[in-house]
């Protein structure tokens, strides 16, 4: 029973990572395309994709490879890249 639970968890987390990452890439594309129109394209939940991927990596590898946790956070544009963009905007605003 434990193996079935793990498989379902991996599928759910992997699916959430893929779905939310694709949504964030779509939003990024719309922001780039509408840059001249100043249209605001919000992201409904920007961090969920990266966090789901990080939890999935922890579930698959355990704590044997701690730097692999950063990989889904870097791949998803709504996680670390969004936070870096936010910091840049805050610094420019001052």
Question: pLDDT for 55-81, tens place per residue?
Answer: 888 888 887 888 888 889 888 888 888
In this predicted structure, the answer to whether residue 45 has a pLDDT above a threshold of 80 is: no
In this predicted structure, the answer to whether residue 30 has a pLDDT above a threshold of 70 is: yes
Three-state DSSP state, 43: coil
Burial class (CB in 10 A: 0-12, 13-18, 19+), 24: buried
In this predicted structure, the answer to whether residue 20 has a pLDDT above a threshold of 80 is: yes
Residues shown for the chain? 94
pTM: 0.77
In this predicted structure, the answer to whether residue 1 has a pLDDT above a threshold of 60 is: no
Q: What is the pLDDT of residue 39?
A: 62
């Amino acid at each position: 029973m434990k193996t079935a639970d793990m498989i379902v968890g991996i599928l759910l987390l992997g699916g959430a990572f893929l779905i939310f990452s694709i949504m964030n890439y779509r939003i990024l594309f719309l922001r780039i395309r509408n840059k001249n129109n100043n249209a605001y394209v919000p992201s409904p939940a920007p961090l969920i994709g990266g966090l789901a991927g990080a939890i999935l990596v922890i579930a698959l590898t355990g704590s044997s490879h701690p730097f692999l946790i950063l990989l889904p956070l870097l791949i998803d544009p709504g996680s670390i890249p969004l936070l870096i963009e936010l910091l840049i905007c805050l610094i420019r605003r001052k």
